[in-house]
Structure 1
Amino acid sequence: MTASHKTKAPDVMSGAYRAVWRWHFYAGVLVMPFLMLLTLTGGLYLFKDEIDHAVYRSMIEVPASAQQADPDQWLDAAAHAGEGRAANVLFPDRADQAVRVQVNRPDGAQRTVFVDPHTAAVTGVTAYGGVTETIKKLHSLTLFGGPIGTALNILVEIVAGWAVILCATGLYLWWPRRRTGAVLRPRETDAGRRPFWRDVHALTGFYVGGVILFLAVTGMPWSAVWGDRFMGVMRDTGLGRPPAPAAASPWSHA
């Protein structure tokens, strides 16, 4: 009679394993819906220029010309069209694209005014940042503004923290311990069996966990609480933004 030998973890390890599994499950339930939203909006924001050009093509595209109007005319035209004060100018890389001027209105609202740099004619007015600004606010959940937006932004920060817990507990559950054989590929090859999908889940988490952890940690500087503390340290130590370069264009003001 042949005895079957199986490696069994001690009871204390089994208890720890079950506890970590619960934390991993709760972290996944909390993190995954928000992680899917952040992934979608973050991915879309990577195509900011393409989205803007597709939505605001008629405002962005202008006839190319060697002539250029005085920049003060851009500001005056933008301030009049936006019904406020010109606060920022984004100069395009190409001669066939409009200048974008940020206009701050007396009621606190902001507008983006597109101005033809060659004629100082206004080609269009949109809410500040347009569609991609909406995507950006959805990414940080500050779309609603005010206390609600702040609370949702803090929620994103909490989710980022739980993403770290998700990765840490997932690594603990994946860790091979006394298991022999391959640990970087599924042990089962039958897709109809539960262990196969369990291993696929574990290995997928192992391979992408580092990316999730990196995105969670590097996104924290833009969060409400942790980010404010982080930026305070950066300012106090002088490691913030470098000094602005000297004016590189003939129309720039000092």
Structure 2
Amino acid sequence: MSATLPASATRAARAAGAVHPGYRTLWRWHFYAGLFVMPFLIVLAITGTIYCFQPQIEPLLYPHRLVVAPVAMPRLPADALLTRAREALPPGARLLRAHVEANPARSAEFVFALDGGAKESVYVNPYSGEVLGTLDVESRFMQVDRMLHRKLLLGKTGELLMELAACWTLVMIVTGVALWWPRQSGARGSAGGAAKGASGLAAGLATIRAALWPRFGATGRPFWKSLHSAIGIWLAVGALLFVVSGLPWTGSWGKQFKALATRVSLGAPRGAWGGGLPLQSTLPSGQNAAQNTAHAAPGNHADHAEHTEHTEHTEHAEHAGHDMASMPGMVMDDLPLPNVPWAVGAVPVPQSPEARTSPGSRWTLEQVIAQMRTLGVQSGYDIALPATATGVYVVSYFPADPKEERTVYIDQYSGKVLKDIRYGDYGAVSQAIAYGTSLHMGRYFGLANQLICAAISLGLAALAVTGFVMWWLRRPARSSRTTGGLGAPSRERAAPPMRAWKAGLAVLGVIFPLMGATIVAVWLLDRLAFGRTNNLSSS
């Protein structure tokens, strides 16, 4: 039976173990990171969890449009269904894409651009040809949820805010783990001899085990702190992977990273410029026309790693309902497709090499679908239709298994496959990102993947809530151990150099320049706007 220490000795021992050199510096940065990301984490968590369960939610939201009763009869040809869909809209409607789904219980979907700029989905019963209804693409529940998740429905400003929130979440997680990690074991182990060292090690392991579970017997701030710490440490690895796997899709850094990966042939598929050669910033010289059909039209030879208008094109594609599929100079991310594999997002869209020589007969949608069947793709893909005389059919297959991803360009006149890009054609970076994306979206291994993603997302929201409660309980009105109006933890009297921590921040600032600017801004505000105190009381 161990002796009971006086309360004052217990507090002193706790302080000696908890407030190690550098503790308050880490706590300050953890506080600033958490203060910024709290509201964004809640939005990301809720919208991300909803989006993970899109396959289950959408049929419940729109059962009369998306769901049909299977019947023992052949489906109508795709072109006949398209005709019915076109008749349901005003004459000026322009077809953008078709979704191909072999599920006998799902309707056929066609997306049109209306004269006013809106995009409208038309749903048709594949057996009877009955038009089941329409949906505004931008007002569709999952599209609104997706845009909230990506950009808070605030356009570019919201996109940058969400990107910053993701970056600062990395700081929050790393500093949180550093603050959680018990340090009593080292002090106890060096206090006296091998026996005491072994005893100290055992005590340290016991401390770590205890720190993995909330102190349900505690009340007030100690309880919330233990709950916050336990949730954070259980989620740490998964949350880091979750954030990192989402960053390549961000609107600023993600696009720049994609361009860089494309330039060094680690992102875009090898031979994306045609001829089977590695990706180059200029058209390969000495290649004949047959070798370069995947990139034949003028205007597609630009170096898209420095395509500064790309973001604006993408915004236009998402919000303006354009019908510019396969226009010269466009890349895959510009097309009106709901999902495009990350690896091909910056790949130029080819033009028809037979636009000037063909007599005018064009392949039908049904012929394209039949051709995809011969290529081994049966269902669950989207076709962007050519909108100009030089355009091509663009097929984007974005399944749960990244190894099955396909991007196929088909000439609208001859039906010739101009390019068939598969997972094996991706660079190393894009292959890793493909798997990260599938896991991040909860698609890779079914319901279990969805539940894990939901647990991580909602766990991050719980961190935000418990962090807010902890701040509320120690806000300036109740505590004298804080600095400034925000209630930031006090500074240390003589902080250690913490070179590794500073180097880590510098690396993050270089990798994520937008975050680097905010790191400098936070440091300046911390030094100039908030008062300095030397109180070293324990947290």
TM-score category of the 2 structures, normalised to the smaller one: 0.7 to 0.9
1:225-240 aligned at under 5 Å gives the runs 225-236=252-263, 237=265, 238-239=268-269, 240=343
1:98-247 aligned at under 5 Å gives the runs 98-128=107-137, 130-143=140-153, 148-179=154-185, 180=204, 181-186=206-211, 190-192=217-219, 194-236=221-263, 237=265, 238-239=268-269, 240-241=343-344, 247=372
SS at match of 1:137: helix
Q: Which residue of 1 aligns with 2:39?
A: 33
> Greater helix percent: which structure?
1
TM-score normalised by length of structure 2: 0.41
User: What are the Cα deviations for residues 198-250 of structure 1, in whole angstroms up to 9, with x where unaligned?
Assistant: 3332232111122221111111111111110122234342342499x951179
* Number of residue pairs aligned between Structure 1 and Structure 2: 246
| One-letter code aligned to 1:30 | F
For the 8 Å contact 2:47–2:148, the answer to whether it is kept is: yes
1:4-153 aligned at under 5 Å gives the runs 6=13, 8=16, 14=21, 16-65=22-71, 66-83=73-90, 84-128=93-137, 130-143=140-153, 148-153=154-159
Tell me the distance in 1 between the aligned counterparts of 2:101 and 2:372: 16
| One-letter code aligned to 2:372 | A
Tell me the distance in 2 between the aligned counterparts of 1:77 and 1:232: 41
SS at match of 1:112: strand
Tell me the distance in 1 between the aligned counterparts of 2:89 and 2:53: 26
User: What are the Cα deviations for residues 3-42 of structure 1, in whole angstroms up to 9, with x where unaligned?
Assistant: 9694847x9x54x321221111121121122111111111
Q: Which residue of 1 aligns with 2:396?
A: none
Moved more, 189-198 or 230-239: 189-198
Classify 1:113/1:44 alpha carbon distance in 2 versus 1 (closer, same or farther; 3 Å): same
Tell me the distance in 1 between the aligned counterparts of 2:74 and 2:85: 19
Q: CA deviation at 1:69?
A: 2.1
Q: CA deviation at 1:110?
A: 1.0
User: What are the Cα deviations for residues 114-172 of structure 1, in whole angstroms up to 9, with x where unaligned?
Assistant: 012223331110011621111111111253xxxx3111011000000110010111112
For the 8 Å contact 2:121–2:136, the answer to whether it is kept is: yes
Moved more, 227-236 or 51-60: 227-236
TM-score normalised by length of structure 1: 0.82
Tell me the distance in 2 between the aligned counterparts of 1:232 and 1:173: 37
Q: Which residue of 1 aligns with 2:192?
A: none
Tell me the distance in 2 between the aligned counterparts of 1:194 and 1:61: 50
Q: Which residue of 1 aligns with 2:418?
A: none
Q: CA deviation at 1:195?
A: 4.0
- Higher Rg: 2
Tell me the distance in 2 between the aligned counterparts of 1:40 and 1:193: 27
Cα RMSD after superposing both structures: 3.3
The runs of 5 or more residues in structure 2 that have no matched partner are 186-203, 270-342, 348-368, 384-392, 394-414, 416-539
Q: CA deviation at 1:193?
A: 6.7
Tell me the distance in 2 between the aligned counterparts of 1:108 and 1:234: 34
SS at match of 2:109: strand
SS at match of 1:106: coil
